[in-house]
A and B are shown apart, each in its own frame.
Chain A
Amino acid sequence: MASFKSASQESAAKRIGSFLAKLVKHQIFIPIAALLILVIFNLIADPSFFAISLDQNSLGNPVFSGYLITILDNASELVILAIGMTLVTAASGGQDISVGSAIAISGSVMLRVLCGTNSRPEVLQAPIIVAFLVCCVVAMLFGAFNGTLVAIFKIQPMVATLILFTAGRSVAAWINKNELPIISDASFGYYGNFIPGIPIPTPIFIAVACMILIALVLKFTNLGLYTQSVGINANSSRLNGIDPALIKFITFVILGLCVAVAGFIKVSRFSTINYSVIAKDIEMDAILAVALGGNALNGGKFNMGASILGAYVIQFLTTTLYKFNVVSSALPAYKAVVVIILVVLSAPIVRDKITETWKKLAPVKIAKEAS
């Protein structure tokens, strides 16, 4: 191995080869490549795909519209969840499958606080910020519940979160006494749609704010380092003075916070809730985003940027499929095929193989050009 490396430094051709190999091997390569393939595919099929126009909505406010805006807008919740899911995956080596149900609960709590006892209030019964804070606390409590099961009772994360996955939507319905509250105050809808006068959908701002926040946290705290070391080897991290249980617990609480924000956007989009379908199957998409980002699903090292890109790839794919009007009964099959390809490509074994082929091919190609 060492001799091979020193040999590669000798010739320029081999250096380029190893650069390409490194690029392929880099974790963020797969989501970027997937995004590029989708972009090129859409550009060829319909060059107007990326056109953005400034229109007015029915209230006369300016709004940007176009596929790109739609994708960025609709991916927001998934991006926010992917952030939390990446941390949970890295620290605990498992996934939280209860985020969809937890969104139903947090959304329900939010509406309950805003509506009070009447399910269709004329005026809001509490300021939105208060409702949001209550919803954050509740979602973090449920996150803490999952975290306790995983960190202290050492239950497999998928099994531990199965409890909330099963019960969550009933709990959500129970919080609002089985009624479907509708909020008529327009200002509540701003957070899931547009703030009057600002043409960019609000969820995009919220998602960007979450990204900046997590970037700052990872940069200025040890959270990233600690979660990765706990995920790689819990015992040796304990010997080094990190409490694995505490770190796992914290990641679940952070995911709870992400759930609260995503739930807020979800209920704000329509100013109402439907317990059985809100954020349905979003947990699978969130896990997929982490997997597409090339993160090991059994814990350890992670790349936050790659997960976030993975989330955008999933929404890009969904919108592309809608655009091409795929027959609805075949839609899951199309999605499955693309997902299989992406996940197989991001598997370390395949990537190593690709890296090797690059290394072998590149010198040959350049040698040919020279002659």
Chain B
Amino acid sequence: MKKYLALVLALCMVFALCACGQKAAPEASKDATAASVEPAAELIKVGIINNDPNESGYRTANDKDMKATFTKESGYEASFAYSLKNDEQIAAAQKFIQDEVDYLLISAAGTSGWDSVLKDAQAAGIRVILFDRTIDADESLYEASIVSDMALEGKTAVDWLASQNLETYNVIHIQGVMGSSAQIGRTGALDEMVAANDKWKLVTQQTAEWNAETAQQIVQAVIDSGKEFNVIYAENDDMAKGAVAALDKANISHGVGKDVIVIGFDCNKWALEELLAGNWNYDGQCNPFQAAYIDTIIKDLEKGTAPAKKVVIMQEKGFDASTITQEDVDKYGI
């Protein structure tokens, strides 16, 4: 009985293998024909390694921008690979090197471990451009790095807040995930100001880990304790939204000319609409549109001119509720 069972199972396995083989064969031939057709068009081949577009609104906007810029019409043949894990990204980079892309565009999940794969790329004559995130590797291994300066974003926002000339600043500071570059940059600017200035006080400084609900709980805890505050400095829009929900519940007015100033970051479209309605006061941009910068650099490199600076810092705006327009919302909202 057992022997029969073994026989049946073995047959099943053989059939399964056959089925796999048959399926695999036509796919392989399809790849081959695709490969033989493409080079005729003389497109610039770019391999783009990005983080998962579901990660955040920022990433979704970033990915959309990439896809809109690197199209066949504008002379590119783009392949995309997504992962939030460094090792998977490195594996994807190796695959792109084997595929002999002309440019490798990388938004790295982690900062380390990229040396050997970048050397492979250099040896294969592939040029590397980093966007959004830097990595710990020798500068000679890449052509350019296009990044946001989070510390500058924070400083722009804090300077704007200082320009409001309040008598005292009692700030509820809601931080992002501790150790993330956005958190470090945006916290640093405020911490510096508070340390240097007697008028500025932190009522509370807590991490809500980018989570609206946690932010609401933190602000609720401050309201329940009866402490005075007049500024909410939330390191992204979601957390600002959570904070505002707590204010609404306690009937504390917020926005332009009201009791509490609300500051958010990232310029989500809905957040800019809150600004336009005067419910929030300020929103700092974290520019996800690197594709245009990369496009210029690649076009220059094709002509033979190297970029003037290795590290390109993108222009980033901060929006004030009293000056924002519907055009800004449409143009910069992500």
Contact = CB atoms under 8 A, between A and B. Distances in A.
Contacts of B245: 193, 269-270
A178 B251 CA distance: 34
Contacts of A327: 205
Given A55-B250, A173-B54, A70 B220 contact: yes
Contact of A318 (B204, B216, B217): B217
Nearest to B252: A58
A7 to B, nearest CB: 52
A328 B206 contact: yes
Given A59-B248, A277-B209, 8 more contacts: A56-B251, A65-B224, A178-B53, A266-B213, A274-B210, A274-B238, A276-B54, A328-B175
B218 interface: yes
A322 B207 contact: no
Contact of A323 (B56, B213, B221, B238): B221
Interface string A256-282: 000000000010011000111110100
Contacts, number: 96
Given A270-B241, A270-B242, A67 B53 contact: no
Interface string B208-248: 01111100111011011110000000000010011001011
A59 to B, nearest CB: 8
Contacts of B54: 169-170, 173, 178, 275-276
A46 B227 CA distance: 13
B204 A182 contact: no
23 contacts: A46-B225, A48-B226, A55-B250, A58-B252, A65-B223, A65-B250, A74-B217, A178-B53, A178-B60, A182-B270, A270-B212, A270-B213, A270-B241, A276-B210, A277-B210, A277-B211, A277-B212, A278-B211, A319-B221, A322-B206, A327-B205, A328-B178, A329-B178
B206 A57 contact: no
Contact of A70 (B217, B248, B252, B253): B217
B205 A328 contact: yes
Interface string A275-297: 11110100000000000000000
A65 B218 CA distance: 14
A55 B251 contact: yes
| Residue from the set A180, A266, A275, A331 with the largest chain B CB neighbour count within 10 Å | A180
Contacts of B206: 322, 325-326, 328, 331
Contacts of B238: 274, 277
B178 A63 contact: no
Nearest to B53: A178
Nearest to A279: B213
Interface in B25-70: 52-57, 60
B249 A65 contact: yes
Interface in B185-220: 204-207, 209-213, 216-218, 220
A193 B270 CA distance: 20
Determine which residue in A58, A266, A331 has the highest number of CB atoms from chain B within 10 A of its CB, and name it.
A58
A193 B245 CA distance: 10
Interface in A60-118: 63, 65-67, 70, 74
B257 to A, nearest CB: 15
Contacts of B247: 58
Nearest to A51: B224
Contact of B217 (A59, A178, A182, A319): A319
A275 B84 CA distance: 15
Contacts of A66: 224
Contact of A58 (B52, B178, B253): B253
Nearest to B237: A274
Given A266-B213, A280-B209, A70 B224 contact: yes
A279 to B, nearest CB: 9
A166 to B, nearest CB: 11
Nearest to A178: B60
Contacts of B56: 274, 276
B138 to A, nearest CB: 31
Contacts of B52: 170
Interface in A163-184: 169-170, 173, 178, 180, 182
Contact of A280 (B60, B211, B217, B252): B211
Contacts of A59: 248
Contacts of B205: 325, 327-328
A58 B221 contact: no
A331 B175 CA distance: 13
Nearest to A66: B224
Contacts of A65: 223-224, 249-250
Interface in B89-132: none
Contacts of A319: 217, 221
A345 to B, nearest CB: 26
A270 B249 CA distance: 12
B204 A57 contact: no
A117 B55 CA distance: 22
- The 4 A-B pairs with the shortest beta carbon distances in the complex, nearest first, are A328-B207, A322-B221, A173-B54, A58-B248
Interface string B242-281: 1001011111110000000000000000100000000000
Contacts of A278: 211, 213
Most buried by B among A65, A66, A327: A65
Nearest to B174: A328
A182 B269 CA distance: 11
Most chain B beta carbons < 10 A, residue from A58, A67, A277: A277
A190 to B, nearest CB: 13
A67 B224 contact: yes
A276 to B, nearest CB: 6
Contacts of A194: 249
B251 A58 contact: yes
Nearest to B221: A322
A108 B146 CA distance: 34
Nearest to A318: B217
A274 B250 contact: no
Interface string A203-242: 0000000000000000000000000000000000000000
Contacts of A58: 247-249, 251-253
Nearest to B238: A274
Contacts of A277: 209-212, 238
Contacts of B53: 178
Contacts of B248: 57-59
Contacts of B217: 70, 74, 318-319, 322
